[in-house]
Chains A and B, each alone.
Chain A
Amino acid sequence: MSGGVIDRELIYLDHAATTPMRAEAVTAMQPFLSDVYANPSGSHRFAREARRAIDEARDAVAGVLGCKPGEVVFNGGGTEGDNTAVLGAVRRLESKGLAARAVCSAAEHHAVLHCVGHVRGAVVGTDATGCIDAEQLGLELTRFAAADVVPVVSVMAVNNEVGNVTPIDDVSRVVRRSAPRAVLHTDAVQAACWLDLAPITKVVDLLTLSSHKFGGPKGCGVMFQRDGVDIEPLIFGGGQERDRRSGTHNVAGIVATAAALVATAAERTREVERIGALRVELVAGLTAIGGVSPTISADNSVAGIVHVCIEGIENEALLYLLDEAGLCASAASACASGAMEPSHVLAAMGVPRELARGALRLSLGHTTTRSDIHAAVDIIGTAVARLRAHARA
């Protein structure tokens, strides 16, 4: 793979890391990478053309989220959204002289978890399926409310590692009941392809999306910010996005984001069915290898993520063999050096460390085919057999 050229047929099952851009998005952004180069904040006709593209993109995104266009903020991606939500909400409450405290689940993405840690927030445990312990959350929030502390709660809709769905409407009920003044954010980055976002948007104050997870470009994101929910911006400057996110608009990225989200939403029901069927086949194929256990049951999982723990192997070694055979997959998150870190999600779920060493995530997406699934099962079966034979030797 020297020189950046991928010289063989790859089986790509790492859509949760990033999914290929949709053709609709690529097409939509093209004019804004060349001819329509104006800054949309300008006051000439050329600027107005770019401005119009952004306004239309905003309407389109609002349509998918079931919210008002004014509640849609375009930003630089999922991490920025998570940071803005957690830090921005806490800081704004504090600047109003209120006591605020961030709260999240132990299985959140690091973009949330590290923000909550940064402002010395509270982390609530999860159950064995990766969902936040609602009872503990309720107790925690009640305690805060009693102490006149306003909680900023962040709970992800779909876990990026294991793929479990957390019913955000249930979380919302707990939050509203226990702490009526709380700000509720959900990281819906991994939900965009698989769940109807409108009912989730309806029950939260803030919601974060990342474009490249649903066929848009990297470095672009969307945040839903409910009218009347006041948070401090992370980035100050020219006051774009109604002062909520300064910086010259990434017009091409915004247009592509909207195109990708609209296309994803339009095909969602069909894709969930198609990918869901592939998921069943994949899980069946993997469990047939033996000593392979799905981490999340089909009932609790999105269609696109299959997470398994494979006994008797180390995933770092497995991933090398899979890569060598042309299968792109992943395990847990990587640190700055590129080394894989033990999964905090599996730790939160109480998966024993020994079993977690054999964690493997295969994530499916709009380009995944049945033959990908069958080839992947073969490759994984061969690699696992090889590693187990060596471990015994």
Chain B
Amino acid sequence: MKVLVAMSGGVDSSVAAALMQREGHHVVGVTMRLWGGESDTGCCSVSDVDDARRVAQQLGIDHLVFNFTEDFQEKVVDPYVQSHATGVTPNPCIECNRSLKFSRLTERADALGFDAVVTGHHARLVRNAQGEMRVHRGGDAAKDQSYVVHMLTGRELERTLFPVGHMTKTEVRCVAAELGLRTATKPDSQDVCFISTTGGRETFLGHRIPFHAGRVVDTDGHEVGKVDAVELVTIGQRRGIGLYKTEAKRFVVDVDADSHTVIVGTEADLQRTGLALHDMVWAGGAPEAGRYRVQCSAHGKSLPCSVEVVDADRVQVTLDEPHRRIAPGQSAVLFDDTDSYVVAGGLVSAASAWPVSVGATA
């Protein structure tokens, strides 16, 4: 097979490339340049490209750089910024996988005659009894990334390979060390690649959207404080709303970007069982109601739930036990009831959040 390995300059994709080569495939490495602006977090930094290129040289494979900065801006950064302006908190890494790695890159790989795109994600691809490929949890529970690649379906799954998906991170680092790869001990990247650790989200968004001061009200609508920027407030947040030191623990339970209002409540007010999702992508194509487990963050625990299908794009999830509310825009992924493989994924709807009394407070 002729495969294109997406090499970020990290250890997982380095080892992915090495393993594919060891299996005798014709391997070409590519580093995508995604973020064109300033950054100090990695992902698209020149030193990461250097690492990827040096690993490729060591393995004796060709290494390319594709400039996808315009696509990244349009498909990931702009929506990220715009969402914040409307009080929605998207996960840019998932949008990047959806729009860049597993669409832009795979399309180009196709055009260039590659049989598959390979990445260093910690997830496994397993064919089920019906002969269909599914995304299964990775071999290392602590590093499992099935959540961030949940959007892969059908044909994409047939043309994607995760060679380190069955390995633990320790095993990956061992292989890298054995091969003497310079990335063997490189720390994992953690942050959103286009937001600098020094300036943070506040600086990034502050340069791109106007911030609005807002009222902080309790669940009865009484004003209890003020915030400088409603756009920076996220559901579940406790700090930064001026109430941190108050007697009762208060959490942000909702944000109404239109009326510049932040609603705070107790831990109990934050608990819900209902979760509405939209933009659903089903691994098997057709929506199917049933018992699942739902995961709402990259390393969050999955929660048992029942799912009703609203329409082709939407579902209503009912958690068995109440859980802290999930911010609109976040991805929620449904796994089968044994928590082994991805069944579907979608985005948390704004409407799912705070059906009671918000209107009265605005």
Distance in Å: Cβ of A329 to nearest Cβ of chain B: 15
Q: Does A337 contact B (CB under 8 A)?
A: yes
Q: Of B62, B67, B110, which one neighbours A341 at CB under 8 angstroms?
A: B67
Q: What per-residue 1/0 map shows which CB atoms of A316-349 lie under 8 Å from chain B?
A: 1100110010000000001111111110000000
The answer to whether A339 touches B111, judged by C-beta atoms less than 8 angstroms apart, is no
The answer to whether A316 touches B111, judged by C-beta atoms less than 8 angstroms apart, is no
Distance in Å: Cβ of B289 to nearest Cβ of chain A: 35
Task: Considering the complex, give the chain B residue whose CB is closest to the CB of A321.
Answer: B112
Q: What per-residue 1/0 map shows which CB atoms of B86-124 lie under 8 Å from chain A?
A: 000000000000000000000110111100000000000
The answer to whether B67 touches A317, judged by C-beta atoms less than 8 angstroms apart, is no
Q: Does B244 contact A (CB under 8 A)?
A: no
Q: How far is the CA of A335 from the CA of B37 in the complex (A)?
A: 12
Q: Does A352 contact B (CB under 8 A)?
A: no
The answer to whether A317 touches B108, judged by C-beta atoms less than 8 angstroms apart, is yes
Contacting residues, chain A, for B204 (C-beta < 8 A)? none
Q: How far is the CA of A336 from the CA of B46 in the complex (A)?
A: 7
Q: How far is the CA of A314 from the CA of B71 in the complex (A)?
A: 13
Q: Does A2 contact B (CB under 8 A)?
A: yes
The answer to whether A316 touches B60, judged by C-beta atoms less than 8 angstroms apart, is no
The answer to whether A337 touches B66, judged by C-beta atoms less than 8 angstroms apart, is no
The answer to whether A317 touches B112, judged by C-beta atoms less than 8 angstroms apart, is yes
The answer to whether B33 touches A2, judged by C-beta atoms less than 8 angstroms apart, is no
The answer to whether B111 touches A338, judged by C-beta atoms less than 8 angstroms apart, is no
The answer to whether A338 touches B110, judged by C-beta atoms less than 8 angstroms apart, is no
Q: Of A2, A339, A341, which one neighbours B66 at CB under 8 angstroms?
A: A339
Q: How far is the CA of A317 from the CA of B65 in the complex (A)?
A: 11
The answer to whether B112 touches A338, judged by C-beta atoms less than 8 angstroms apart, is no
Q: Of B44, B61, B107, which one neighbours A337 at CB under 8 angstroms?
A: B44
Q: Of B31, B53, B67, B108, which one neighbours A340 at CB under 8 angstroms?
A: B67
The answer to whether B60 touches A2, judged by C-beta atoms less than 8 angstroms apart, is yes
Q: Does B49 contact A (CB under 8 A)?
A: yes
Q: What per-residue 1/0 map shows which CB atoms of B111-144 lie under 8 Å from chain A?
A: 1110000000000000000000000000000000
Contacting residues, chain B, for A177 (C-beta < 8 A)? none
Contacting residues, chain A, for B57 (C-beta < 8 A)? 2
Distance in Å: Cβ of A322 to nearest Cβ of chain B: 11
Q: How far is the CA of A340 from the CA of B67 in the complex (A)?
A: 6
Contacting residues, chain B, for A390 (C-beta < 8 A)? 107, 110-111
Q: What's the tally of chain B residues with a CB closer than 8 Å to chain A? A: 22
Task: Considering the complex, give the chain B residue whose CB is closest to the CB of A334.
Answer: B65
Contacting residues, chain A, for B65 (C-beta < 8 A)? 334, 337-340
Task: Considering the complex, give the chain B residue whose CB is closest to the CB of A337.
Answer: B49
Q: Does A3 contact B (CB under 8 A)?
A: yes
Given contacts A316-B66, A320-B64, contact A337 B111 (CB under 8 A): no
Contacting residues, chain B, for A340 (C-beta < 8 A)? 65, 67
Contacting residues, chain A, for B112 (C-beta < 8 A)? 317, 320-321, 324
Contacting residues, chain B, for A6 (C-beta < 8 A)? none
Most buried by A among B31, B46, B107, B111: B111
Contacting residues, chain B, for A3 (C-beta < 8 A)? 60
Contacting residues, chain B, for A2 (C-beta < 8 A)? 57, 60-61
Distance in Å: Cβ of A336 to nearest Cβ of chain B: 5
Distance in Å: Cβ of A188 to nearest Cβ of chain B: 30
Q: How far is the CA of A338 from the CA of B69 in the complex (A)?
A: 13
Contacting residues, chain B, for A391 (C-beta < 8 A)? 111
Interface set, chain B 12-60, CB cutoff 8 A to A: 31, 33, 44, 46, 49, 53, 57, 60
Q: What per-residue 1/0 map shows which CB atoms of A49-66 lie under 8 Å from chain B?
A: 000000000000000000
Contacting residues, chain B, for A314 (C-beta < 8 A)? 108
The answer to whether B108 touches A338, judged by C-beta atoms less than 8 angstroms apart, is no
Contacting residues, chain B, for A355 (C-beta < 8 A)? none
Distance in Å: Cβ of A275 to nearest Cβ of chain B: 30
Task: Considering the complex, give the chain B residue whose CB is closest to the CB of A319.
Answer: B64
Distance in Å: Cβ of A240 to nearest Cβ of chain B: 33
Q: How far is the CA of A390 from the CA of B113 in the complex (A)?
A: 10
Q: Does A1 contact B (CB under 8 A)?
A: yes
Q: Does A370 contact B (CB under 8 A)?
A: no
Q: Does A387 contact B (CB under 8 A)?
A: yes
Distance in Å: Cβ of A359 to nearest Cβ of chain B: 13
Q: How far is the CA of A1 from the CA of B60 in the complex (A)?
A: 8
Q: Does A181 contact B (CB under 8 A)?
A: no
Given contacts A1-B62, A2-B60, A3-B60, contact A317 B111 (CB under 8 A): yes
Q: How far is the CA of A77 from the CA of B113 in the complex (A)?
A: 40
Given contacts A337-B46, A338-B53, contact A387 B111 (CB under 8 A): yes
Q: How far is the CA of A87 from the CA of B114 in the complex (A)?
A: 48
Q: How far is the CA of A338 from the CA of B62 in the complex (A)?
A: 13
Q: How far is the CA of A77 from the CA of B228 in the complex (A)?
A: 53
Contacting residues, chain A, for B44 (C-beta < 8 A)? 337
Q: Does A374 contact B (CB under 8 A)?
A: no
Q: Does A386 contact B (CB under 8 A)?
A: yes
Task: Considering the complex, give the chain A residue whose CB is closest to the CB of B30.
Answer: A320
Distance in Å: Cβ of B58 to nearest Cβ of chain A: 10
Task: Considering the complex, give the chain A residue whose CB is closest to the CB of B58.
Answer: A2
- Mind listing 10 A-B residue pairs with CB under 8 Å? A314-B108, A320-B64, A321-B113, A324-B112, A334-B65, A337-B44, A337-B49, A338-B49, A339-B69, A386-B113
Given A316-B67, A321-B112; 19 other pairs, CB 8 A cutoff = A2-B60, A314-B108, A317-B112, A320-B112, A321-B113, A324-B112, A334-B65, A335-B33, A336-B46, A337-B33, A337-B49, A338-B49, A339-B33, A339-B65, A339-B69, A340-B65, A340-B67, A386-B111, A390-B110
- Residues of B whose CB lies within 8 Å of any CB of A are 31, 33, 44, 46, 49, 53, 57, 60-62, 64-67, 69-70, 107-108, 110-113
